[in-house]
Structure 1
């Protein structure tokens, strides 16, 4: 398993190669999956001014399509585990941020609990342009 530094170096190499945003995210996700297996992901770009997520690249097993708007709404309404509140922190799990009480998250209350999701991880990236 690669170290955190090795993963960061790989991401920086992809960045230097100037891939388009979608391809860059695909490569980063492939690197992450080799280091830390996961069941699903949402890797969105973010408007630098409003910090609204845009252009999501996602693979989320579980939520039926009719529940997707509910999931997105809950993601924006909950103050816990939001990408725009994680800036400057390393990745965090929902259980870590809630001291083991995921019911503090609207996303978990309204959608993830019903799907049997036990925990989620979130990482926010920023550069000189914003989140």
Structure 2
């Protein structure tokens, strides 16, 4: 089960307001907010007045691999950004917000998702 889903269902049953707070909401929660199932409240600035980070979303279906290497892991934009930092003598750290193992694969050409039945 997912604790978020339990909280939402329990809130509905009890007539209570459920607040899901996160600086980085899940795509599912964000989608529910966009569809009007949740109310999205945004913080346009950080509590300590630091600048918000620039976030770019890259549709990996538009990325093409070279030769027979399969779908690319990194977008061309990301590879160029890493290269530019290295050229400036700086370092790059990549954080992957994913635990466990892949349960599906997506075709980079048509978007078909092949899911593991297990």
* TM-score (norm. length: structure 2): 0.31
Which protein has the bigger helix share?
1
Q: Which has the higher contact order (CA 8 A, sep 6+)?
A: 1
Which protein has the bigger strand share?
1
* TM-score (norm. length: structure 1): 0.29
Greater C-alpha Rg: 2
